Amino acid sequence: MATAEDARSGLVAGLVRDGRVHSGRVRAALEEVPRHLFLPGLEPPAAYADEAVPLKFDDGVTVSSVSQPSMVAIMLEQLDAGPGHRVLEIGAGSGWNAGLLAHLVGPAGAVTTVDIDEDLVEGARANLAVAGAHGVAAVTADGAAGYPPGAPYDRIELTVGSTGVRPEWVAQLAPEGRLLLPLTVRGSQLSVAFRLTAPGRLSSASVRSCAFVRLRGAGATPGPDAALADSGWTVQPADPGVVDPTVLAEALRAPGADRPAASPGSVSDLWDGLGLWCALADPATLRLIGRPDDGLAPALFPLAGGRAGLGVAAGTGCALLLAEPGATIRSFGSGGDVAALRLAALVEGWVAAGRPHAADLRIDAVVPELAGGGDPVIGGAGGQVVVDGAGTVLTASWHPVAG
Ligand SMILES: C[S@@+](CC[C@H](N)C(=O)[O-])C[C@H]1O[C@@H](n2cnc3c(N)ncnc32)[C@H](O)[C@@H]1O
């Protein structure tokens, strides 16, 4: 069996090769902080597989996990933490990422990591001690409030998903500080690295796709996903107030009518590119996720062992983009034709814009209570304005479109 050191070198080499790691600092942290010491009980090959490892369940649902190494690496590159920085992590989990942060900030810096569950914090503390990581304070607290005793922070990183940019986090950033968080924007979870540009005003330095467990406690919000009656399908609406799952389930029982469409390309293009494009442009956008053997499934796109689809709702009907036969838009129910025209126009617009992905998005944010007046809408002309779950005004614009 490979030693832990061999397994770790292999993992890091793969992350460098795949472009997840590009700075020497992040590479050194991943090489020198042993992930297996944060996953007691796992053999090295499993501890160094590029996979998330669930840590804790509640009612069968994962509430804590050690994140996938490639995602951790992507986010550390986005965070740009360096020697001497004061960093707050929200979501201590196993303590592995806090250990990596401590390596990045060095002896002149300081890392505070908080988790809402005492047992996880105790585990993180023990793991950090075994790994010999110094300079980390692991604290039990609801990170929705940030952690005022250690503020201001040069960097705040959430390793747990939020539906909004909470004013508490922005208020605890040092001038020119950076806030990195998995943020749900119109149903898509995006890892957004925001730079503080003025009090209460932020601008994204980078945006990536991600998938994290969501905040519990005071920052928890109901998930947007809903089960479609009698179908085994889950719908993820861009805006839960616009797409009615009962109406959608009824529409999908009708026979559909097909028209040709441009191909979205890979499923990653479909999900992180076209899906995000559609959701930002049209709140009636929906994503469907289901088992490989259910009803429409064979016509939809393979995703993580199941099937996925993208569509638009209108009236009591909807239209879906299908992978089979060829690239097709199928309309269902009354209003389905209108939905099909809208979906076709969105696909054409995305193709004409060069098939942008999450990484091509810029997000500007204004926290009204901290910004003290001025225009709450900033960023590229023609950007989509969304008020997030914390009341922060987000303006999302595509680089190729907004220039
Ligand atoms: C994906 S895990 C974090 C993984 C961790 N960074 C690591 O290196 O192992 C997300 C964590 O966020 C925590 N969490 C959820 N809601 C929270 C909240 N309101 N405040 C602080 N932590 C929270 C969960 O308990 C969970 O441990």
Q: What is the DSSP string of 310-370?
A: EEEEETTEEEEEESSSSSEEEEESTTHHHHHHHHHHHHHHHHHTT---GGGEEEEEE-HHH
Q: CA 224, 115, 98, 93 torsion: positive or negative? A: negative
pTM for the complete prediction? Answer: 0.94
Q: What is the DSSP letter of 391?
A: S
pLDDT digits (tens, 9 = 90+) for 360-378: 999 999 999 999 876 666 6
Cα 142 from Cα 357, distance rounded (Å): 33
Q: How far is CA 43 from CA 1, 46, 51, 333, 359, in A?
A: 9, 6, 14, 53, 35
Determine whether the shortest distance from the Cβ of 147 to ligand 1 is under 6 A.
no
Question: Per the residue annotation, which of 64, 65, 94, 231 is the catalytic one?
Answer: 64
The structural domains of the chain, with segments of one domain joined by +, span 4-160, 226-352, 359-402
* Residue 265 scores a pLDDT above 60: yes
Q: Ligand 1 centroid vs 127 CA: distance in angstroms?
A: 15
Other Cβ atoms within 10 Å of 61 Cβ, number? 9
pLDDT digits (tens, 9 = 90+) for 290-349: 877 767 777 788 777 788 889 999 999 999 998 876 788 999 999 999 999 999 999 999
Determine whether the shortest distance from the Cβ of 101 to ligand 1 is under 6 A.
no
- CATH fold for domain 4-160: Rossmann fold (3.40.50)
268 annotated active-site:
no
pLDDT digits (tens, 9 = 90+) for 122-152: 999 999 999 999 899 999 999 999 999 999 9
Which is the closest atom of ligand 1 to the Cα of 72?
A: 8
**Substitution candidate for ligand 1 out of 53, 96, 115, 136 with most atoms within 8 A of CB:** 115
